[in-house]
Amino acid sequence: MLSKTAHLSPSKQLAMNYFRVAIVLFGAQLLFGLLAGLQFLFPDFLYNVLDFSVNRMLHINALVVWMLYAMLGSVYLMLPDETGIDHPVAIGLGKLAFWVLTAAVTVVVLVYLFIQIGPGKESTIWFINEGREYLEAPRWADFGIVVVVLIFYANVFFTYMKGKKTGIMTVMVADLLALAGLYLAGMFYTDNISVDQYWWWWVIHLWVEATWEVFVGTLAAYGLIKVLNAKREIVEMWLWIEVLMLFGSGILGLGHHYFWIGTPEYWWEIGALFSALEPVPLVAMFVHVLYDWGKEQGHVQAEGKRTAIKNGPAIAWISINAFGNFLGAGIWGFFHTLPQVNIYTHGTQFTASHGHLAFFGAYATILIGMMYLGIQESYGIERMKATFKSKMAIVLITFGVVGMTVALTIAGYEQVLVERAELGAGWQAYFTAQNLPWYIQAQVWREIMGVVTFVGFVYLLWDLLTIGKKEAAAE
Amino acid sequence: MAKNNASVWTSIRFWRRSAAWVTGVAVVLLIFLTFDTMSQIRMGTDKELEQGIKRRIPAPTVINHHIDYKYDEKRGMEVPVIGKKEPFFGKEWSPKEARALLHLGKLTVQAKNCMDCHTLLGNGAYYAPDLTKAWLDPMWEKTMPAMTGKKTKEEAMAEFLMHPGQYRTHARAMPNLKITPKEAMGVVAFLKHMSSIDTNGFPRGFSKVIKEGKTGGTYAK
């Protein structure tokens, strides 16, 4: 992953740069998650030094930013293949944007770590911390992100216009416009907390439950063609069906965040209906991946070859994505999406359990798969098999995240029943539930499974750094 | 596949058009609903509050009123009840002063990153109690005023916010966030205002058991 990119097209070289930063930030996400998880068990650990709020902010911001990096990387990776153009129209600017973004992210992280908070003034919002979950990045960085994304988007759009216009790239170009535009909804300040959260959800929900999901659909389509030689017509038809179902359910599914924030009651019905439909496309995506795999495998076996798979680790991660997306985003989301349930589960560890499995299943998995595709090309490997380290990474990370999810689900159940249903929320109710042995036991298991995930990450990093050389030599 | 389709179900054109239409209709509906919701959740005016006109989000001067959270038979949930006037930090706040105080409070809540430990309207992190109805929490009635040596709820809250490490109620304590006395008043105003928002009954049965003292069994008083 570190070298051997010289012969790649400029677009793919830039993709590898994005992947390199992404994997570092992924590590940071896990480290700060471990620190925050430890504070549930030892509340005095780093108290008043690196408080839970700081660790948690770094945990979720590193998550979002590494995913965005890996997403930009994935687009630059597929751009030459889909458009037939190796030099995106403004590749120089694209490279500059990468370094500007990376410098900005570094400054933001240092400010989060060492300044942490500011006085209750506009200047804090502009220069230190915006204090809105997931969108903590100060306003100056927001504008920086907008500029960088505009450069990126212009590059992709004009390259698309100049080259071939495949179905995959058409969906990608349209989806990226929506994705980038939605970020603007989070860039203003208001004293009205309900209006604040209304627009905040436009960014968060319409990213992770609409535009990011469609993005994943395009990556899966591209990945299946690359890894299995899947037939483009079938893949692209499925992609349009997925877009139909994802946007058809996900856009108005936004209503399930508008049950309790001061918004009118009609959101109960709208949010419940459309968000309940959100798992449907995820089933379709799951079926699609396994169907194509089986079909292509059947074709090559008929020709007397052993396997259709050209990239072992990538197909493994894409398959985990297909199942993890359905399980984490679909099932775990559906668990608590109806208002009749959500009035008790809203704002409990139940949400955290869903968040962990969904972000992993829907996004982390396929983005890791894209990194393996990038490495395969960097080293010009015809058929890249999974190594022992690839397999250890897959097993440990998946087992670790599922373990954390189960632990947090149990903590969530306990919290919902004791704190909410039995005691009716409030300060004392909250701590009564937090101090129960079953809750603490669940938090212990969450931390253990977090360590398992981290060990898996070490294997992943090690594999990404070595697999290219090893497999190239083997061929 | 593109040409001479045996069936519309295998036509890419059909699915592409359907995807565009469904997305378009969903977006139009969302925009329409957003306009309606925005008109319903704009902050009420001081005049509406004076005249007793109910708004989902009342004017900042609601901090001059007593606020309660009562079960409404018809809606089947608890709703905020805005009552008679009561002093807030020992005085009645003019519309201009109340607005400025709420502004300072909201800014402070963001500047101190409250949302990465607490939840506001149920959104945020899960390391500390939900603050949606914190103003109405029974802990502020007697326990915390006694602990901080303050006479009123708002003074106890402000004192706690400035020196949280001194008033630990559990092993998990709030860190020192260098909140100034003025900022603390702002945050308390923000919390009082938030407790007056109509949240469709969230949280349900707020502190009911503790309030009524009928925990039963092992915890019976």
Interface probe with B: pick from A193, A196, A422, most Cβ of B within 10 Å? A193
pLDDT given for residue A3 in this prediction: 62
Does some domain include residue B210? yes
Tokens of A410: 């149990």
Q: To which residue do tokens 């105003």 refer?
A: B189
B27 CB near a chain A CB, below 8 Å? Answer: yes
Q: Residues B21, B50: one domain?
A: no
State the smallest CA–CA distance between residue B91 and chain A in angstroms: 22
pLDDT over 60 at A351, yes or no = yes
- Going by C-alpha positions, the residue among A369, A404, A390 that lies closest to residue A457 is A390
Same domain, B27 and B64: no
**Bridge partner residues of A345 (DSSP):** none
Angstrom distance (rounded) from CA A229 to CA A299: 11
Residue of B137, B186, B210 with shortest CB distance to A423: B210
Confidence at residue B217, expressed as pLDDT on a 0 to 100 scale: 57
| Sign of torsion over alpha carbons A381, A382, A386, A387 | negative
Report if residue B150 sits inside a domain: yes
Residue B198 contacts A where some CB pair is shorter than 8 Å: yes
pLDDT, tens digit, for every residue of A205-249? 999 999 999 999 999 999 999 999 999 999 999 999 999 999 999
Least confident of A163-177, A284-298, A377-391, A449-463: A284-298
What are the angstrom distances between the C-alpha of A272 and each of A163, A357, A406? 42, 21, 24
Residues in contact with A109: Cβ distance below 8 Å, sequence separation at least 6, in sequence order: A28, A58, A61, A62
CB contact under 8 A, B107 and A57: no
**Residue B215 forms part of a structural domain:** yes
Query: Which of B110, B195, B196 should one mutate to test binding to chain A, selecting the residue with the greatest count of A CBs within 10 A?
Result: B110
Task: Tell which of B103, B121, B211 to mutate to test the A interface (max A CBs under 10 Å).
Answer: B121
Q: Any long-range contacts for A95-103 (C-beta under 8 Å, 24+ apart)?
A: A95/A14, A95/A17, A96/A151, A97/A147, A97/A148, A97/A151, A97/A152, A98/A14, A98/A17, A98/A18, A100/A144, A100/A147, A100/A148, A101/A144, A101/A145, A101/A148, A102/A21
Residue A136 at interface with chain B, using a CB cutoff of 8 Å = yes
Q: Chain A: residue nearest B172 by CA?
A: A43
Nearest to A192 among B26, B57, B201 (CB): B57
Question: B31 with B108, same domain?
Answer: no
pLDDT band at B59 (very low <50, low <70, confident <90, very high): very high
pLDDT of residue B1: 46
Whether the per-residue pLDDT at B108 is higher than 50: the answer is yes
Q: Which residues of A294-319 are buried (b: 16+ CB within 10 A; e: fewer)?
A: eebbeeeeeeeeeebbbbbbbbbbbb
| Sign of the torsion angle spanned by Cα atoms B182, B186, B191, B192 | positive
Tell me the C-alpha distance between A419 and A427, whole Å: 9
Beta-carbon separation of A424 and B165 below 8 A: no
Instruction: Give the residue numbers spanning the domain of B52.
Output: 46-219
Q: Is the pLDDT of residue B172 over 60?
A: yes
Domain count, chain B: 2
CA distances from A235 to A220, A280, A285, B15, B148 (A): 9, 18, 11, 12, 66
**A364: which residues sit within 8 A by CB, 6+ positions away?**
A26, A67
- Return the number of CB contacts < 8 Å for A and B: 274
The arithmetic mean of pLDDT across residues A106-111, rounded, is 96
Q: What are the chain A neighbours of B190 within 8 Å (beta carbons)?
A: 193
Domain annotation covers residue B3: no
pLDDT exceeds 80 at position B30: yes
Interface test with B, best of A246, A417, A428 (most B CBs within 10 A): A428
- Is position B72 within any domain? yes
For B4, counting Cβ atoms within 10 Å of its Cβ (0-12 exposed, 13-18 middle, 19+ buried), the class is exposed
Phi first, then psi: what are they for B72, rounded to 5°? -110, 115
B20/B91 same-domain check: no
Tell me the ipTM for this assembly. Answer: 0.95
Partner-chain contact B175 A426, CB within 8 Å: no
Q: Are residues B19 and B51 in the same domain?
A: no
Q: Which two tokens stand for residue A359?
A: 């972000």
Q: What torsion do the CA atoms of B123, B131, B219, A412 make, to the nearest 10 degrees?
A: 10
Q: Return the residue of A nearest to B128 by Cα.
A: A430
Rounded Cα distance, A117 and A401, in Å: 31
pLDDT tens-digit readout, A183-210:
999 999 999 999 999 999 999 999 999 9
Are B129 and B30 in a shared domain?
A: no
Average pLDDT over residues A163-180: 96
**Least CB–CB distance from A120: residue in B104, B117, B124:** B104
Q: Do B106 and A430 touch (CB under 8 A)?
A: no
Structure tokens at A106: 């570094």
Contact (CB<8Å) B139/A116: no
> Do residues B156 and B105 both lie within one domain?
yes
A167 within 8 A of B12, measured Cβ to Cβ = yes
Higher pLDDT, B178 or B2: B178
Q: Which of A56, A236, A248 has its CB closest to that of B116?
A: A56
Task: Closest CB to A47: pick one of B37, B43, B175.
Answer: B175
Q: How far apart are CA A250 and CA A232, in angstroms?
A: 26
Of B113, B130, B206, the CB nearest to A131: B113
Per CB-CB distance under 8 Å, the chain A contacts of B138 are 426-428
**Distance (Å, whole) CA A130 – CA A138:** 5
Bridge partners, B67 (sequence order)? B82
Tell me: do B123 and B20 sit in the same domain: no
Is any Cβ of chain A less than 8 angstroms from the Cβ of B29? yes
Q: Rounded to the nearest 10 degrees, what angle do helices A167-183 and A193-206 cross at?
A: 160
B53: helix, coil or strand?
coil
CB atoms A236 and B12 under 8 Å: yes
- Asked if residue B18 belongs to a domain, the reply is yes
d(CA A397, CA B73): 50
Query: Cβ contacts (< 8 Å) between B23 and chain A: which residues?
Result: 243-244, 247-248, 251
B105 & B212 share domain? yes
Chain A residues touching B121 at Cβ < 8 A:
193-194, 197, 260-262
Say if A92 is an interface residue toward chain B (CB within 8 Å).
no
Domain check: are B25 and B86 in the same one?
no
The span from the CA of A187 to the CA of A374, in Å, is 34
Q: Is residue B1 part of a domain?
A: no
Average pLDDT over residues B119-143: 95
Which CATH number covers residue B206?
1.10.760.10
Q: Across residues A19-47, what is the average pLDDT? A: 97
Q: Are A57 and A136 in contact (CB under 8 A)?
A: yes
B19 and B90: one domain?
A: no
State yes or no: pLDDT of B221 exceeds 50. Answer: no
The verdict on B138 and B188 lying in the same domain is: yes
